[in-house]
Amino acid sequence: MARRLISSGSTFEKSIGYSRAVVDGDWVFVSGTTGFDYSNMTIQEDAVAQCEQALKNIAAALKQADSSFADVVRVHYLMINASDFERCWPAMGKAFGEARPAATMMVVGLADPRMKIEIEVTALRREAAPRKKKKAKVARRKK
């Protein structure tokens, strides 16, 4: 399967030189995604609103990759303020509660002072998950 690049239309992708997501075989790698509404390049001030928008942006990228939150195996939360983390749990739980991926939260500085959260995910598409091998038919020699 060929490598496929996915774009959200964000101006950041073109100017910085990256893809919103990369599909490589059965894997989907979604870049760190912030709470910008890419349709109009605006961002709300509230961390929870940014978290919810970031998750919408991620859902859209996963859908383009023929994937979903159910396929996510790893998530990284990057936040500028640890005290905002717990307030975001309901939105995070709604997105990842069933899949329960491995997760890490880090307090960091982000590129734009308006950004309060960035979320990065890795997914393994379920339909591509390892399957049981069928028994090979044994060819019989003719006598």
CATH number assigned to the domain comprising residue 115: 3.30.1330.40
Q: Domain residues for 56?
A: 4-128
Q: Is 90 domain-assigned? A: yes
Q: Which residue has the higher pLDDT, 132 or 119?
A: 119
Whether 44 is in a domain gets the answer: yes
Asked if the structure places residue 142 within a domain, the reply is no
**Cα torsion angle, 48, 85, 109, 17, sign:** negative
Number of domains in the chain: 1
Residue 134 pLDDT > 60 = no
pLDDT at site 128: 53
In contact, 111 and 31? CB cutoff 8 Å: no
Q: Tell me the pLDDT band of 133, cut-offs 50, 70 and 90.
A: very low
Bridge-based pairing of strands 4-6 and 27-34 is unpaired
Give the tens place of pLDDT for each residue, 72-131: 999 999 999 999 999 999 999 999 999 999 999 999 999 999 999 999 999 999 875 454
**Residue 55 banded pLDDT, cuts 50, 70, 90:** very high
Q: With respect to residue 140, please indicate whether it lies within any of the assigned structural domains.
A: no
Cα–Cα distance, 43 to 40 (Å, whole number): 9
On whether residue 39 sits in a domain, the answer given is yes
Q: Report the share of the chain in percent with pLDDT over 70.
A: 87
Indicate whether 136 belongs to any domain.
no
Is 8 inside a domain boundary?
A: yes
Read off the pTM: 0.85
Q: What is the percentage of the chain residues whose pLDDT exceeds 90?
A: 73
